[in-house]
Amino acid sequence: MTRIVAISGSRRDGSTTKTALRAALTAAAEAGAETELIDLGAVDLPLYHPDEDAQGDSERLTRTVREADGVIAGSPVYRGSYSSTFKNFHDFCGSDEYEYTAVGLLATAGGGSYGGTLEHLRSTFRNVHAWVVPHEVGIRGASAAFDDDGRFHDDDLRRRTERLGRVVVEHAERLRG
């Protein structure tokens, strides 16, 4: 069975990044994948140190990513890029974790600009030999994008986010094939 892991780079309770990733994971599960969400705000992950092999939950988390066929990476937009929480986790991972892995990207912006975040994510994933899928999702004004139950207000945005989950499954299956 195809295994898809979403990684949330948000530490915020009620995170719109996590909400959107859950929607993408639901669509991936409906496409037949086994899914899991890594909530980086809920794990023990000290700052990356290149002279230390394993720190906190790093070994378990990198193994989870390494064993996945596909990854959906999500981050809130901070200062025009992705979060330091996501960057810290990403520093623990390399081509051993991402080579031949389909990766979909998702960015949630409090305002309107998410393009730089998606570009930064795209280049760092390509640098570790991930297969970044062409479909990506950016959410402007993310705090107003969902109702209290985590449902999208905008059907087009919901469809694009669900499509991200399905596209990652499709590409992961091709890479395994």
Which CATH number fits the domain that encloses residue 78? Answer: 3.40.50.360
**155-176 and 16-30 are packed helices; what angle lies between their axes, rounded to 10 degrees?**
60
What span, in angstroms and rounded, lies between the C-alpha atoms of 74 and 100? 19
- The pLDDT tens digits along the chain (177 residues) read 999 999 999 999 899 999 999 999 999 999 999 999 999 999 999 999 999 989 999 999 999 999 999 999 999 999 999 999 999 999 999 999 999 999 999 999 998 899 999 999 999 999 999 999 999 999 999 999 999 999 999 999 999 999 999 999 999 999 987
CB atoms within 10 A of CB 27: 24
Report whether 107 contacts 114 (CB < 8 A).
yes
What span, in angstroms and rounded, lies between the C-alpha atoms of 157 and 174? 26
Widest pairwise Cα distance in the chain: 47
How many domains is the chain partitioned into structurally?
A: 1
Domain that holds residue 19: 3-176
* Torsion angle of the four alpha carbons 73, 120, 78, 143, in this order, in degrees rounded to the nearest 10: -50
54: exposed, middle or buried (C-beta count within 10 Å: 0-12, 13-18, 19+)?
A: exposed
In which region does residue 144 sit, left (phi positive, over 0), alpha (psi from -120 to 50) or beta (all else)? Answer: alpha
